[in-house]
Amino acid sequence: MGRLVQLEVNNFKSYRGHHVIGPFKQLTAVIGPNGAGKSNIMDAVSFVLGIQSAQLRSTHLRDLIYRGRAMVDDQGREVAGVSAESATSAYVSAVYEDANQNQITFTRTISADGKSEYRVNGKTVRREAYVAYLERENVLIKARNFLVFQGDVESVAAQNPKDLTRLIEQVSGSLDLKDQYETLKQAQDTAMENSTLMFQKRRGMQAELKQYREQKSEAEQYENMQQQCDELVLAQTQWKLFHLERDLERMRDSVHDDQGTLREYEDLHEAIEAQVRTAKQEHAAATKDVVRLDRLVGKEENAVKAHQPVLTQLRQAQTHSTQKVERLATQVEKIDRDLARQEQSLTDLRDQIATITRAQQQLDRTASSTDAKRQGLAGLQDEYHRLRSQFLLETATLQQQLDSLQLGSKARQDEVARLEAKRVALEHKMEAAQQELEQARGKLERASDGLARATDEQTGLEQEMAAIQTRDAQLRAQEQSLNEKLVELTGKLMDYRSDKRESERESKMRQLVEDLKSLFPGVYGRLNELCRPTQRIYDRAVALVLGKNMDAIVTDSQATAMECIRYMREQRKGHATFLPVQELVTKEIPPRLRSFANARPALDVVQYDKEIEPAVKYACGTALITETLDVARYICYEKGTRVKAVTLDGVTIHKTGSMSGGTAGADQASGTSRWEEREVETMKRAHEKIQADLQQLTKEKRRHRDREVLQMQLAGVISQRQFLHTKVAGLEGRIAAKTKELEEMTAERDGITARLDDLGAEMADARVLDLQEEIRRARDTFFADFCEQAQVATIDEYEQLVLESAVEETKQRNALATQRTKLETQLAYETDQLTKLHERREQALTARANETRNAESNAERIAQIEEAVAIGEAKVNQLREQLEEFRRTQKDKAQVLHRRKRQQQEVRSSQEALTKKIAQESDAITQLHHHRVTLLRKARVDNIPLAITTGSLADLVPDLTVQQSQELSQAIVVDYDDLDDDLKEDGSPAVGQDFTDRIHQLTSDMDRIAPNMRALEKLAGVTAKCAETDKEFEKARRDARLAKDRFLSVRQERYTRFMDAFTHISGCIDAIYKELTRSRNFPLGGTAYLSLESEDEPYAEGVKYHAMPPMKRFRDMEQLSGGEKTVAALALLFAIHSYRPSPFFVLDEVDAALDNANVAKVARYVVRHREDVQFIIISLKNSFYERCQGLVGVYRDVDANSSGILTLDLEAFPDE
């Protein structure tokens, strides 16, 4: 395997002058700051190895030559004498060492005019030879298998399957065969198409030759048929003229009889018309009475309705007053209970104050006696203090022991005092909280009662509202049902009238067609009568396809159609469309239109006789009938087929692409049938009854209670209930909080009590008591003489009388005074609360009295209004009864009027029918005359040899009027002696049809034969052409076989090249990807594989690349992270490079998007494979290039305005 030794660049891009880059190790990194010129080394390698300038970030080759620039100072001014001159030429040389260690120097130069020259070892060669040298070393310029540009990794990661296919084609060389493949494929298709055309031409020539051979025998048969046909036409014409003249006589007699009957109908119509006028007057008078009384009923109903809002408000106010009286009564009872409790509380306070007063008086008496004793002992105080000092000195040890024990007892005493104060405060707070709790419970009780009443009231109103809504829904449903029935009946009545008109027009058209068929043998009938859909589901679609041709009249030839048009113009029979079968030009349905799924040509779903096939083809055209609109859209829009498409439900997409909605089905195209008179009368009576019921419903809805007032009342109750519910919830929460607070304070008080008990037990310590007892005995002994002198029992009594009694008396006086003041303040507060309770009771009693008076007043007004409403309703009911009587009278008058009108209509209908019959008979006489004239003219035109006894057929010239032609025809007498007697007696259509069938059969046979008198002349020429066509066909078949063989050969070669590369790349991609993604945590690495979208022609479709990083589920490449995409792209590039590996591989910043972990994995892979291929890598990651064998450093030489090169051999520095 060879390697790239070094590069030499001269004035190439940013490198001014001559630079030697290298030597390159098996693993060399190119490093340097951004903008220094690292990527220009990549461009130099690409340039010297033949890459085009467009891929080197330049438009022209001369852009690759070094360009100088003027130097500027800090202020941007040009410095005189300091500049970098631009070069006029440049070159790059690559020193390559092959596997035999022979060095080859590849040089590519650029001249000033932008031309490039190639040299190998200094010898100038052509580009093709230059490229050949490189390809011998497996350096493929087209495949670019020796380098990866900056950004190529990201582009590879973002490639779609088609781009990846093209990349593999470049590497495999199958792309070189693409143009030849496309050319040969086109040649094969052209040759196959030519062969098919020649085959069809050959088959046509053979058919033509066979036809000319058969035409000789047909000519003689044709002449015999022509003679038979002429005889039948003569007999048919005589038969038609004979029976036409007989029909004319019968028709004249019938007209005379009908005119006499018509005069009788006119007299009867005048008498009935007078009766109708009288009935109309009586019905109008009855209707006027109904309208007047109906207005009066409405007026009275409005008067009654006007009382309803006031009555509703009064009832609501009465209910409110009643509820308020009940609440006030409850409130008075509660206040009475509070008054009793308050008075008892005042009595208790007064008793407590009296007790304190007695205690103060007792204290005053006790203090008077104590003061006398204290004054007698006042002179011994000095002696007491002396002795006490001496006693303290003698008992100092015992006192210290007692003090030591009592030191803790003092803290306990302080804590006991603090706990006692806290317990007293807690008890006061508990009393206040208990009072608040009682008040809240009272409020909760009142609020709960109000909430219950509001709930009951809401339930009642909601039930009333539901009943009203149910009745309203019933009325609406009944009204909707009646309206639907009314609309249906109105539509049917309108359809009856329109169908009646349509039936008349249809009858005239049908009669016209029958006349034309009887006059002209070539008239087949209307198209919709001659064909029909194969299934009923196609009725609507076929009707839309035929369109205006549905009523077209089908004739055998254009001459027959012109005769029909002349007849219609003379008889003023309107207009019609004619389809002459022989002259119609039709189009064959293209085979591709039959290939669409769920779609059929309209012609395929129509049944018809063979003789009218051109007319059906003409009317249907190439139109398609599709099962759904989606199929039609697919054919017309997605496939771009210009064809008319009609769906089964009537949606049409025209050839222009516009879409129109469905129309009535084919079963409705001929109009609807008539209604029977009895059925119409039944529908009219039902129509009138429904209108009356709707009027009654409207009045009932007006009489119904005003729902808005009830809704307002219900909204007020709901709002009040919500307020009370919120209030109850708040009070319940407050009670719960207060209860919890009381429980917590009780628990805290119990805790304090328990603590006090513990402290009391602790203070009663036995050692303290023993010391106190010992000191007390010593104290009594020491002060025994002093006590005897002072005349007291013990020294404690002396200290109590002289020292402590005054202080104790002061404490007791203050305590009693404080407690008395507190009780007096509480008494004043409770007295004030009692006064307020009395005031609240008086206010509640006053309010209850007022509300009671309001309730009584409202009750009186309600009774008055209800009485007025009852009187109004009675009056309304009376008026309604009168109104119903008037309506019955109106209905009777309407029935009489209806009967008279029906009689008048029956007479008019009979009169019109008879008039119409006379007109039709007159038209029939005219038509019979015209038919006779037409037959005579046709006989003259067709040279039918009629026997004429009087007159001449030559007199019937074309420009005569109808009257002139009738007069001339009457003068022409035909001799019917030759007519068979059976034909004279039988004038039925069956005889005429028999004539027509026999003539049509002969004509069809003659048309089928259609002999060609020049067949013998053309037979020899056709034989020669057939032989020549055989030769051309054989040549076209050989050419097609040869083109196919050439194409298959190139196709196989392209397939082999592509699959060789794909098989190799697909076989090694997984191992490379595993090696790039393997780590200590994931020793197995990831998984990568390639898959073909097409197995037969893989180069024509895409190649999918899938990569799954370690421990991650399958995802598309687009969903991988940037680093994962880069690693996957590198694995693909390394796999592609391994197919036809070049001796060296140059990569430009392929690690730019990788983190340190992935950089380390890629570096580990490159180091492991550097013995197989030489790597030159441009990188900015130190974790990558520190693993290389050598470094090429690129820097910017600012002074020289050029890029500079530094090299470092890292193998000289062993790894530590």
Identify which has the larger pLDDT, 333 or 93: 93
When pLDDT is cut at 50, 70 and 90, the band that residue 601 belongs to is very high
Q: Which residue has the higher pLDDT, 1195 or 502?
A: 1195
265 CB burial (10 A radius; 0-12, 13-18, 19+): middle
Q: Are 49 and 106 in contact (CB under 8 A)?
A: yes
> What is the predicted pLDDT for the residue at 578?
92
d(CA 1215, CA 1201): 37
Write out pLDDT tens, residues 889-900: 888 888 887 787
Per the listing, tokens 């859909």 go with 533
What 3-state DSSP class applies to 545?
helix
Contact present, 586 and 616 (Cβ < 8 Å): no
> Which of 194-208, 299-313, 815-829, 1196-1210 tops mean pLDDT?
1196-1210
Counting Cβ atoms within 10 Å, is residue 1200 exposed (0-12), middle (13-18) or buried (19+)? exposed
The class (CATH top level) of 523-671 is alpha beta
If you ran DSSP here, which 8-state letter would residue 1088 be given?
A: E
Predicted local distance difference test score (pLDDT) of residue 411:
66
- Say which range, 18-32, 340-354, 671-685, 720-734, has the weakest mean pLDDT: 671-685
DSSP letter at 65 equals B
Confidence bin at 377 (pLDDT 50/70/90): low
Spatial separation of the C-alpha atoms in residues 827 and 349, rounded to whole Å: 6
Report the range of poorest mean pLDDT among 312-321, 335-344, 1007-1016, 1191-1200.
1007-1016
Q: For residues 562, 565, 566 and 571, what is the CA-based torsion angle, rounded to 10 degrees?
A: 160
d(CA 1014, CA 557): 25
Residue 95: predicted pLDDT: 93
Torsion angle, alpha carbons of 1110, 1111, 1114, 1115, to 10: -70
Side-chain-side CA neighbours of 1093 within 13 Å: the count stands at: 14
Largest CA distance in the chain: 201
Is 1-146+1142-1216's fold the same as 523-671's? Answer: no
Q: Cα–Cα–Cα angle for 769, 773, 777, nearest 5°? A: 175
Range of weakest confidence among 664-668, 859-863, 1019-1023: 664-668
pLDDT of amino acid 802: 64
CA dist 150 → 57, 146, 1009, 1182 (Å): 11, 14, 83, 18
Angle between helices 1015-1077 and 178-376 (to 10 degrees): 40
What residue spans define the domains of the chain? 1-146+1142-1216, 523-671
Stretch among 389-393, 621-625, 658-662 having the lowest mean pLDDT: 658-662
Lowest pLDDT segment from 236-250, 375-389, 961-975, 1056-1070: 375-389
pTM equals 0.37
Asked if the model's pLDDT at residue 549 lies above 70, the reply is yes
What are the distances in angstroms from CA 346 to CA 350, 433, 765, 1107?
Answer: 6, 20, 45, 95
> What angle in degrees, to the nearest 10, is found between the helix axes of 396-519 and 805-941?
10
Pairing of strands 606-608, 531-533: antiparallel
Taking the CA atoms of residue 327, residue 333, residue 339 and residue 340 in that order, the dihedral angle to the nearest 10 degrees is -160
Task: Answer with the residue of higher pLDDT: 1149 or 617.
Answer: 617
Which stretches of 1027-1095 are assigned E, i.e. beta strand? 1087-1092
Nearest one of 1193, 1172, 1127, 1214 to 28, comparing CA atoms: 1193
Q: Round to whole Å and give the CA distance between 962 and 951.
A: 18
- Between 142 and 1130, the higher pLDDT residue: 1130
pLDDT number for residue 804? 57
674 φ, ψ to 5°? -75, 155
Rounded Cα gap, residues 220 and 214, in angstroms:
12
Q: What is the pLDDT of the chain when averaged over all its residues?
A: 80
**Structure confidence at residue 707 (pLDDT):** 61
Give the model's pLDDT for residue 706: 54
Q: Per-residue pLDDT for 664 more than 60?
A: no
- pLDDT at residue 72 is higher than 60: no
pLDDT value for 70: 43
Of 150-159, 202-211, 1085-1094, the range with the highest mean pLDDT is: 1085-1094
Interatomic CA distance for residues 300 and 307, integer angstroms: 11
Contacts of 509 (CB under 8 A, 6+ apart): 526, 551, 574, 576
d(CA 1132, CA 1073): 8
Burial degree of 917 (CB within 10 A; 0-12, 13-18, 19+): middle
Query: Which has more confidence, 1041 or 55?
Result: 1041
Q: Tokens in use for 433? A: 């909280």
Class level of CATH domain 1-146+1142-1216: alpha beta
Task: Please name every residue paired with 645 in a beta bridge, in sequence order, or none if there are none.
Answer: 624, 653
Residue range 996-1016, pLDDT digits in tens: 888 888 888 777 776 666 665
The predicted pLDDT at position 762 comes to: 61
Q: For residue 408, give the nearest of 675, 662, 759, 659 by alpha carbon.
A: 759
Buried b (16+ CB within 10 A) or exposed e, 613-634: ebbbbbbbbbbbbbbeeebbbb
Higher pLDDT, 633 or 269: 633
- Rounded to whole angstroms, the Cα distance separating 136 from 138 reads 5
Backbone angles phi, psi at 92, to 5 degrees: -135, 130
**815-818 long-range contacts, CB within 8 A, separation 24+:** 816/356, 816/359, 816/360, 816/363, 817/360
Asked if the model's pLDDT at residue 952 lies above 80, the reply is no
Q: Identify the helix (H) or strand (E) that includes residue 1000.
A: helix 989-1009
Residue 99, exposed/middle/buried by CB under 10 A (0-12, 13-18, 19+)? exposed
Residue 794 dihedral angles phi and psi, to the nearest 5°: -140, 160
Cα distance between residue 1092 and residue 1055, in whole Å: 13
Burial of 1175 (0-12, 13-18, 19+ CB in 10 A): buried
Average pLDDT over residues 1141-1146: 86
Q: Which of 522, 528, 519 is nearest to 556 (CA)?
A: 522
What sign results for the dihedral spanned by CA atoms 973, 977, 978, 980? positive
Bridge partners for 647 per DSSP: 626
For residue 261, give every residue at least 6 positions away whose Cβ sits within 8 Å of its Cβ, in sequence order, or none. 914
User: How confident is the model at residue 668, as a pLDDT?
Assistant: 38
pLDDT at 795: 75
Please state whether beta strands 27-31 and 1174-1178 pair in parallel, antiparallel, or not at all (unpaired).
Answer: parallel
What is the radius of gyration, based on Cα positions, of the chain? 64
Looking at residue 945, its pLDDT comes to: 82
Which one, of 161, 365, 400, 25, lies nearest residue 1176 by Cα? 25
Angle, alpha carbons 356-362-363 (nearest 5°): 90
Q: How many helices (H) and strands (E) does the chain have?
A: 25, 28
Q: Where are the alpha helices (DSSP H) in 623-764?
A: 629-633, 677-703, 707-763
Which of 661-665, 668-672, 866-870, 1064-1068 has the largest mean confidence?
1064-1068
Q: To the nearest 10°, the Cα dihedral for 192, 197, 202, 205? A: 180
The SS3 call for residue 911 is helix
DSSP state of 26: S
Residues 689/693/698/700 CA torsion (nearest 10 deg):
150
Q: What is the pLDDT of residue 321?
A: 78
Q: Once rounded to an integer, what is the mean pLDDT over residues 555-565? A: 90
- Reported as a pLDDT band with limits 50, 70 and 90, residue 1215 is low
Rounded-to-integer distance, Cα 113 and Cα 818, Å: 123
For β-strands 645-647 and 624-626, DSSP reports them as parallel
Distances (CA, A) of 297 to 293, 694, 778, 865, 1065: 6, 17, 123, 20, 100
How many Cβ atoms from other residues are within 10 Å of residue 481's Cβ?
12
| Cα separation, 972 vs 953, whole angstroms | 8
Sort strands 123-125 and 606-608 into parallel, antiparallel or unpaired: unpaired
Mean pLDDT, to the nearest integer, of 1112-1121?
75
Which of 76-85, 320-329, 990-999 is least confident?
A: 76-85
Candidate from 301-305, 341-345, 376-380 with smallest mean pLDDT:
376-380
- Paired strand residues for 1166: none
Examine the pLDDT at 254 and tell me if it is beyond 70.
yes
**What confidence tier does 78 reach under pLDDT thresholds 50, 70, 90?**
very low
Distance (Å, rounded) from C-alpha 1212 to C-alpha 798? 115
Q: Left (φ > 0), alpha (ψ -120 to 50) or beta: where does 598 sit?
A: left
